């Protein structure tokens, strides 16, 4: 039975997509069967899984959501592709069309959950990459998830982004999805040479430590990560054994075994 993890933070550019991608590869390396869902119309995750032009694809999560809204029948398996032994549900700009429809649809916060619940048996982990917004798509991800992986960069306003997400999670837990929990806070783009990065790391640990798990594994800021994303690859493919690859492997072990 899969554990469903939503990777989230309304703050943009903190490393959500990079984390979803590389965590999927590291979990696969541990022998886990992973499904990654790109729930962002920007479709950056889809590009990292070898799709050059996501907007030409007609079997995306946006299309399934529309089928659900229009009560058309479909086979969810037809919307899943396999890449490097990781399964993925792609996104495209069409997801914004679905999002607009969902805003006026009754009970739409449960649509994604209805879609992926039937897939639980096939996977060990289902990772959902969300957009930098607390829109209906992200709410759906939080309603479908068991756990939230809070990704925070060690830059200004990190705490603001974390606090805002935690408040939303509490509301969803109370009103819609009582099983929802925080998996932990993952600090990304850590640079031990800069005081700001060190200060924010300490601030997050002091503010949340003891109450919420702050992962021991921290993702270093390295040019290799930027280059790997630029060339649409995971860090494991682009720079195996680099410090960022090792950090994501260590995160996967914390998630699986601790
Ligand atoms: P969005 O909110 O737009 O969806 P995001 O939170 O998904 O953004 P990413 O797209 O993963 O963030 O990363 C933003 C940028 O930061 C990318 O260009 C990526 O290459 C870079 N980046 C992510 N992690 C690191 C890292 N550890 N070191 C250096 N650069 C990084
Ligand atoms: Mg992203």
Report which ligand 1 atom has the smallest distance to the Cα of 20: 11
Q: Kindly report, residue by residue over 200-253, the tens digit of the pLDDT.
A: 999 999 999 899 999 999 999 999 999 999 999 999 999 999 999 999 999 999
Nearest-angstrom CA–CA distance, 46 and 49: 5
Cβ of 241: how many Cβ atoms within 10 Å? 9
Residues 6 or more apart in contact with residue 201 via CB below 8 angstroms: 154, 187, 190, 218
Q: Specify the residue with its C-alpha closest to ligand 1, atom 17.
A: 226
What integer is the mean pLDDT of 109-135? 96
Q: How far is CA 140 from the centre of its chain?
A: 13
Residue 258 reports pLDDT greater than 90? no
Q: Supply the mean pLDDT for the chain.
A: 96
Q: Is the pLDDT of residue 186 over 90?
A: yes
**Taking Cα atoms as reference points, which of 175, 160, 227 lies closest to residue 10?**
160
pLDDT over 90 percentage in the chain = 97
The 10s digit of each residue's pLDDT in 74-119 is 999 999 999 999 999 999 999 999 999 999 999 999 999 999 999 9
Query: Against a cut of 0.75, is the pTM above it?
Result: yes
Q: How far is the CA of 226 from the centre of ligand 1 (A)?
A: 7
Quick one: pLDDT at residue 171? 96
Q: Give SS3 for 118.
A: coil
Mean pLDDT of 41-64: 96
Q: What pLDDT is attached to residue 156? A: 87
User: What residue owns the CA closest to ligand 1's atom 21?
Assistant: 226
Q: Which residues line ligand 1 at a C-beta cut-off of 6 Å?
A: 12-18, 40, 42, 44, 131-132, 188-189, 219, 221-222, 225-226, 229, 244
Report the distance separating Cα 92 and Cα 41, nearest Å: 5
Q: 154: pLDDT confidence band, cut at 50, 70 and 90? A: very high
Using one digit for the tens of pLDDT, what is the confidence trace for 59-83? 999 999 999 999 999 999 999 999 9
Structure tokens at 65: 């959501």
């Amino acid at each position: 039975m899969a554990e469903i993890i939503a990777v989230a933070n309304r703050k943009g550019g903190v490393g959500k997509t990079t984390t979803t991608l590389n965590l999927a590869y590291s979990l696969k390396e541990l022998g886990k069967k992973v499904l990654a869902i790109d729930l962002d119309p920007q479709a950056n995750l889809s590009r990292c899984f070898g799709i050059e032009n996501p907007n030409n694809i007609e079997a995306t999560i946006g299309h399934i959501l529309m089928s659900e809204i229009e009560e058309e029948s479909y086979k969810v398996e037809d919307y899943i592709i396999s890449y490097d032994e990781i399964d993925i549900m792609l996104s495209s700009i069409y997801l914004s069309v679905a999002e607009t429809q969902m805003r006026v649809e009754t009970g739409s916060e449960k649509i994604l959950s209805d879609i992926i619940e039937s897939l639980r048996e096939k996977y060990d982990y289902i990772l959902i990459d969300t957009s930098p917004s607390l829109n209906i798509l992200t709410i759906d991800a939080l309603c479908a998830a068991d756990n939230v992986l809070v990704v925070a960069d060690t830059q200004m306003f990190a705490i603001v982004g974390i606090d805002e997400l935690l408040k939303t999670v509490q509301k969803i837990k109370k009103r819609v999805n009582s099983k929802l929990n925080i998996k932990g806070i993952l600090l990304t783009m850590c640079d031990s040479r800069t005081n700001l990065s060190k200060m924010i790391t300490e601030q997050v640990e002091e503010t949340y430590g003891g109450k919420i798990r702050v992962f021991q594994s921290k993702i270093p800021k390295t040019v290799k990560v930027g280059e790997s994303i630029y060339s649409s690859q995971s860090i494991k493919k682009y720079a195996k054994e680099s410090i960022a690859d090792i950090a994501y492997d260590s995160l996967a072990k914390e998630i699986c075994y601790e």
